[in-house]
């Protein structure tokens, strides 16, 4: 090729690169506008108030029957031969693997970075009332589930919208279900896919200098190998990954807390007081406004536990039980484990070490790494922080990717039929790769947008189905000696 041809080729490549960059920047601006002026406020108006409504309506059932939920999970009421794909434990771990992901490491860091420590208080509020939302949507998800020709189960908001709301909405019930299913497919590409692969390749690049595109190709290939096996293979993988990854991360975070125990109470005090006043965040604000602190806490809380989003109802609908309420009680444990326990550990580490206001603080996973590094430096092992976070993030995010493939496949099946599932898996793998090479801000803005597309229709549906939920609660707890024989 001649020198002039080389120059033309180089110029063409530069123009195409500029066009691509301009397009992504424009897309990011549009999405940011939606999140800032539409989606964010809709979530504030609907999400937490709906959780509060159900909590008072059903007299804080998620607290009163907390230990009964654990008894069900432990297999106390399990009976052989009950219809479904997986047992209570595997249904819970599949749903947990979708929520215990980058939200616990990256999402918490972003909430504090942009909204200050006070954002964590509102994350706690979202998680507490989210326990009630999870109970409602997962009870309804199992009640209206359907069995496929191959014997597997499909359930979730699409089905309780279509069949549960038919009398109230008529033909519009099906329309609402299709809107939700389409949003679920989009959300599976964002929440459960791109946000995860983006964080995975970012930590691999910063820690081990592995190029984003190479890591993205490898992750996409591994995901495809697992997800084509369906829910049972996904459940087998997640039932092993979730307990292991939670334990490792818990021990590492606990070590940081113990080493810096003198800062624990001041950190908790700062989280509570700043929830109502706002404070200077590492993101450069000269005092985070209350609304920003509140919004970031709710957004990251929703991303973390997905309560009200309706996604977990698809996994819990496959549980082996004939009592919808029983699976709803198990599902209520998810926000407790995910947000009130694991996310809190990350938040405490970031706040108590002072990493959130550190001069070297950066958005995302880098902030969490910095916090662990500062905390572990007390025993001269701060150099291990990046490896601990890299390992935890890889396990967290990978399990989320494979679990969300199930959610998206159920939604694709609902819209296009059973044959669409395999095609969906290939598209899903492509988005794993795209997430690995897109910028952090665009990926997370996209995630915030598509979450609202799922959550708002779902919240409307479960509010309309409140009478059905009340009957399920009354019927289950009125069974003779349910605590022993049911």
In a domain, 101, yes or no: yes
Contacts of 105 (CB under 8 A, 6+ apart): 199, 346, 365, 368, 389, 392, 393, 396
> pTM of the prediction?
0.83
What is the chain's alpha carbon radius of gyration, rounded to the nearest angstrom?
A: 22
Q: In the structure encoding, which two tokens stand for residue 368, read together?
A: 């969490």
Q: In the structure encoding, which two tokens stand for residue 445, read together?
A: 């803005």
Q: How many angstroms separate the CA atoms of 53 and 470, rounded?
A: 13
Quote the percentage of the chain above a pLDDT of 90: 36
pLDDT digit string, tens, across residues 54-89: 999 999 999 999 999 999 888 887 777 677 777 888
pLDDT digit string, tens, across residues 431-460: 999 988 877 677 778 878 888 889 999 999
What is the separation of C-alpha 281 from the centre of its chain, rounded to a whole number of angstroms? 24
Number of folded domains in the chain? 1
- Residue 143 is predicted with a pLDDT of 95
CA pseudo-torsion sign 105, 307, 60, 475: negative
Task: Please report the beta strands in 149-295, taking only residues with DSSP state E, as ranges in sequence order.
Answer: 153-154
How many of the other CB atoms lie within 10 Å of CB of 6? 10
Residue 73's CATH number? 1.20.1740.10
Q: Domain range holding 194?
A: 33-477
pLDDT digit string, tens, across residues 240-260: 766 676 677 788 899 999 999
Of 99-108, 154-163, 259-268, 428-437, the poorest mean pLDDT is in 99-108
Q: How many angstroms separate the CA atoms of 349 and 385, rounded?
A: 12
CA pseudo-torsion sign 221, 402, 430, 147: positive
In a domain, 57, yes or no: yes
- Contact between 372 and 385 (Cβ < 8 Å): yes
In a domain, 143, yes or no: yes
Question: φ, ψ for residue 154 (rounded to 5)?
Answer: -130, 135
The β-bridge partners of 147 are: 153
Task: State the residue for tokens 């999140």.
Answer: 35
pLDDT at 218 > cutoff 60: yes
The β-bridge partners of 154 are: 146
Question: φ, ψ for residue 86 (rounded to 5)?
Answer: -140, 160
- Residue 173 is predicted with a pLDDT of 95
In a domain, 257, yes or no: yes
Compare 178 and 238 and report the one with higher pLDDT. Answer: 178
pLDDT band at 305 (very low <50, low <70, confident <90, very high): confident
Compare 15 and 462 and report the one with higher pLDDT. Answer: 462
pLDDT at 354 > cutoff 60: yes
Q: Which H or E run contains 146?
A: strand 146-147
pLDDT at 391 > cutoff 90: no
In a domain, 482, yes or no: no
- Contact between 90 and 243 (Cβ < 8 Å): no
Q: Which H or E run contains 255?
A: helix 230-259
Strand, helix or coil at 86?
strand
- The whole-number average pLDDT for the span 151-170 is 91
- Residue 471 is predicted with a pLDDT of 96
CA pseudo-torsion sign 366, 371, 376, 377: positive
- Residue 280 is predicted with a pLDDT of 46
478 by Cβ neighbours in 10 Å (0-12 / 13-18 / 19+) ranks as: exposed
Buried b (16+ CB within 10 A) or exposed e, 89-111: bbbbbbbbbbbbbbbbbbbbbbb
The DSSP line for 66-82 is HHHHHHHHTTTT--TT-
- Residue 92 is predicted with a pLDDT of 86
Determine the length of the chain: 486
Q: In the structure encoding, which two tokens stand for residue 379, read together?
A: 């025993």
Of 146-150, 232-236, 412-416, the poorest mean pLDDT is in 232-236
In a domain, 160, yes or no: yes
In a domain, 486, yes or no: no
The β-bridge partners of 86 are: 319
In a domain, 13, yes or no: no
Q: How many angstroms separate the CA atoms of 426 and 432, rounded?
A: 10
pLDDT band at 10 (very low <50, low <70, confident <90, very high): very low
């Amino acid at each position: 090729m001649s020198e002039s041809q080389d120059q033309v080729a180089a110029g063409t490549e530069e123009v195409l690169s500029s066009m691509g960059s301009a397009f992504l920047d424009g897309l990011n601006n549009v999405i940011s506008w939606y999140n800032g002026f539409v989606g964010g406020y809709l979530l504030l108006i609907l999400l937490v108030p709906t959780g509060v409504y159900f909590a008072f309506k059903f007299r804080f059932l998620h607290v009163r029957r907390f230990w009964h939920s654990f008894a069900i999970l432990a297999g106390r009421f399990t009976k052989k031969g009950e219809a479904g794909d997986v047992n209570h434990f595997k249904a819970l771990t599949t749903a947990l693997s979708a929520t215990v992901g980058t939200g616990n490491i990256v999402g918490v860091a972003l909430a504090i970075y942009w909204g200050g420590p006070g954002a964590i208080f509102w994350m706690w509020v979202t998680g507490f009332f989210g326990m009630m939302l999870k109970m409602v949507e997962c009870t309804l998800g199992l009640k209206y589930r359907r069995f496929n020709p191959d014997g597997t189960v499909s359930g979730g908001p699409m089905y309780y919208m279509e069949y549960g709301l038919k009398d109230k909405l008529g033909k519009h019930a099906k329309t609402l279900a299709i809107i939700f299913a389409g949003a679920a497919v989009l959300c599976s590409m964002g929440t459960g896919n791109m946000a995860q692969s983006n964080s995975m390749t970012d930590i691999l690049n910063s820690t081990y200098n592995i190029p984003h595109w190479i890591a993205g190709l490898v992750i996409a290939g591994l995901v495809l190998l697992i997800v084509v096996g369906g829910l049972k293979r996904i459940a087998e993988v997640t039932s092993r990954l979730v307990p292991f990854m939670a334990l490792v991360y818990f021990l590492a975070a606990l070590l940081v807390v113990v080493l810096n125990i003198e800062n624990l109470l001041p950190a908790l005090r700062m989280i509570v007081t700043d929830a109502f006043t706002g404070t200077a965040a590492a993101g450069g604000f000269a005092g985070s406004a209350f609304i920003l602190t509140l919004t970031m806490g709710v957004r990251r809380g929703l991303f973390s536990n997905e309560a009200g989003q309706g996604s977990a109802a698809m996994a819990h609908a496959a549980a082996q039980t004939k009592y919808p309420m029983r699976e709803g009680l198990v599902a209520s444990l998810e926000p407790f484990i995910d947000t009130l326990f694991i996310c809190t550990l990350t938040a405490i580490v970031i706040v108590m070490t002072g990493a959130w206001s550190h001069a070297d603080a950066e958005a995302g996973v880098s902030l969490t790494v910095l916090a662990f590094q500062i905390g572990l430096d007390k025993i001269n092992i701060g150099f291990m922080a990046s490896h601990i976070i890299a390992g935890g993030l890889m396990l967290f995010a990978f399990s989320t990717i494979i679990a969300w493939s199930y959610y998206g496949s159920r939604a694709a099946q609902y819209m296009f039929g059973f044959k669409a599932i395999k095609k969906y898996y290939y598209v899903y793998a492509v988005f794993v790769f795209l997430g690995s090479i897109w910028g952090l801000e665009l990926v997370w803005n996209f995630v915030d947008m598509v979450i609202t597309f799922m959550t708002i229709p779902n919240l409307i549906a479960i509010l309309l189905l409140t009478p059905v939920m009340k009957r399920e609660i009354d019927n289950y707890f009125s069974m003779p000696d349910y605590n022993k024989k049911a």
